[in-house]
Amino acid sequence: MDKKSVLLIIGGGIAAFKSLELIRLLKTRGIGVTAIMTKAAEQFVTPLSVASLSGNKVYGDLFSLTDEIEMGHIELSRSADLIVVAPATADLIAKMANGLADDLASTTLLATDKKVLIAPAMNVRMWQHAATRRNVAKVTRDGVAMVGPNDGEMACGEFGPGRMAEPSEIAAAIEAQFAPAARTLQGRKVLITAGPTHEPIDPVRYIGNNSSGKQGYAIAEAAVALGAETVLVSGPVSLPLPPGAQVMPVETAQAMLKLCEEELPCDIAIFAAAVADWRVAAASDEKIKKTGSGAPKLDLVENPDILKTIATAKSKRPKIVVGFAAETENVIENAKKKLAAKGCDLIVANDVSPASGVMGGDSNTVHLVSAKGVETWPRLSKRDVAQRLMDRLAAMLSAT
């Protein structure tokens, strides 16, 4: 492969310090880096540090005569194989969404004909603001790729989504842009369940759980990347829809099972949803009122086990059926029991005890439990778990 190069636009946020590590990682992977820094970025890291690490001149001024004579800004915008914006601040994303071009960074982004990858980084409230949601949706529609942001503690002391992806994750996303996945699942159909289910108690209350749906959505993205026809049956979550997947929103376990059955036959079925074990036998049509004489008695019945139903189906059983086992203790032992009890080919087991931070978090440590034995993977981002899992399943499928 010939040497690839990245034009790195460093926006003005505290996460700019991580861009230095990103440059180092890219250089060790043989990827050339030229950087543009916004004025605000220079408040967080110095152009000298960026130039020293990248080994290249750092650009910053749209109206610099010497820069413009050496390399015009239009030429600069086309000089690399990929443009990476890290950190991509709310301001930079807003400019991209609206086509503003009032400095070198935004002008370059408007003038380029190259693929753009952004690594957003901002305060959680800014990330969740309706304006940012709109702008992110717009740039995604325009074909901009995105890595992160992650959940976690922020420099400002708040907690939530908005932390820039780690340099290693950004470097992996950059490499993925350069080496698109082989389309090993072209012509194959993959069915995935994700998220929680909500089982109604009355029109305003339900039984549910904390599943974020992140792992299932990442699996859908990975399946699309391998060329699969991807159907994602999703419980209620607040995640961006994975581009290229056919997403079917559902609320209850019964609806999830019905949709899954309608999607058969398929080649691979992956049940990552955290299905509620019970539902209220007869949900009330009206909001249940407080009577002042104690709590209402809820009569619960068991939900269908979607994984087991499909894994043990007499007809149209998918060629490979994968279950998840979220455990808080004896993870592997319980997963082995589940593999047999549910009749699936593979269980992806993980520790979801509160200390693990898996529930709602961005990384996961999983064990693959099959008839062949147990394989433990290192702590990986949910995205990397998804990619590795889909690669593995594609290999298993081609061996059947």
Q: 79 or 209: whose CB is closer to ligand C5P?
A: 209
306 binding ligand C5P? (CB under 6 A): yes
SS3 51: helix
User: Measured between alpha carbons, how far is 112 from 330 in angstroms, rounded to an integer?
Assistant: 53
In the complex, the smallest distance separating the C-beta of residue 226 from ligand C5P, rounded to whole angstroms, is: 21
Q: 338 or 382: whose CB is closer to ligand C5P?
A: 338
Extended beta strands in 155-303, E state: 159-163, 189-194, 199-202, 205-207, 229-234, 246-249, 268-271, 278-280, 300-302
303 binding ligand C5P? (CB under 6 A): yes
Could you tell me which stretch among 73-81, 152-160, 267-275, 359-367 binds ligand C5P (CB under 6 A)? 267-275
Contact pick of 16, 307, 335, 366 for ligand C5P (by CB under 6 A): 307
Helix residue ranges, H only, 190-263? 214-225, 253-262
Opening angle at CA 77, ends 71 and 78, nearest 5: 95
Q: Which of residues 347-386 bind ligand C5P (CB under 6 A)?
A: none
Could you tell me which stretch among 11-19, 21-29, 303-311, 384-392 binds ligand C5P (CB under 6 A)? 303-311
User: Measured between alpha carbons, how far is 192 from 27 in angstroms, rounded to an integer?
Assistant: 37
Which residues, in sequence order, are bridge partners of residue 59?
36
Strands 205-207 vs 199-202: parallel, antiparallel or unpaired: antiparallel
Contact pick of 211, 232, 271, 349 for ligand C5P (by CB under 6 A): 271
Distances 343 to 313, 328, 331 between C-alpha atoms, Å: 10, 22, 18
275 binding ligand C5P? (CB under 6 A): yes
104 binding ligand C5P? (CB under 6 A): no
Q: 165 or 346: whose CB is closer to ligand C5P?
A: 346
Q: 161 or 235: whose CB is closer to ligand C5P?
A: 235
At 185, which amino acid appears? L
Could you tell me which stretch among 99-107, 171-179, 206-214, 301-309 binds ligand C5P (CB under 6 A)? 301-309
253 binding ligand C5P? (CB under 6 A): yes
Q: Any catalytic annotation for residue 260?
A: no
In the complex, the smallest distance separating the C-beta of residue 196 from ligand C5P, rounded to whole angstroms, is: 10
At 282, which amino acid appears? A
| Residue span 186-225 as binding mask against ligand C5P, x where in contact by CB under 6 A, dash where not | -------x--------------------------------
DSSP string of 278-299, one letter each residue: EEETT--SSPPPP-SSSPPPP-
373: alpha, beta or left? (left if phi > 0; alpha if psi -120 to 50): left
In the complex, the smallest distance separating the C-beta of residue 305 from ligand C5P, rounded to whole angstroms, is: 4
Could you tell me which stretch among 14-22, 131-139, 317-325, 353-361 binds ligand C5P (CB under 6 A)? 317-325
In the complex, the smallest distance separating the C-beta of residue 398 from ligand C5P, rounded to whole angstroms, is: 23
Contact pick of 9, 10, 219, 273 for ligand C5P (by CB under 6 A): 273
Distances 162 to 120, 121, 149, 364 between C-alpha atoms, Å: 7, 5, 5, 19
- Tokens 């996460």 sit on residue: 15
Element (H, E) at 52: helix 47-54
380 close to 388: Cβ distance less than 8 angstroms = yes
325 binding ligand C5P? (CB under 6 A): yes
Contact pick of 324, 336, 364, 384 for ligand C5P (by CB under 6 A): 324
In the complex, the smallest distance separating the C-beta of residue 104 from ligand C5P, rounded to whole angstroms, is: 49
At 166, which amino acid appears? E
Kindly state the number of chain residues that form the binding site for ligand C5P, as judged by CB under 6 A. 14
Supply the residues annotated as catalytic: 156
> Where along the sequence are the contacts to ligand C5P (CB under 6 A)?
193, 253, 271-273, 275, 303, 305-307, 323-325, 338
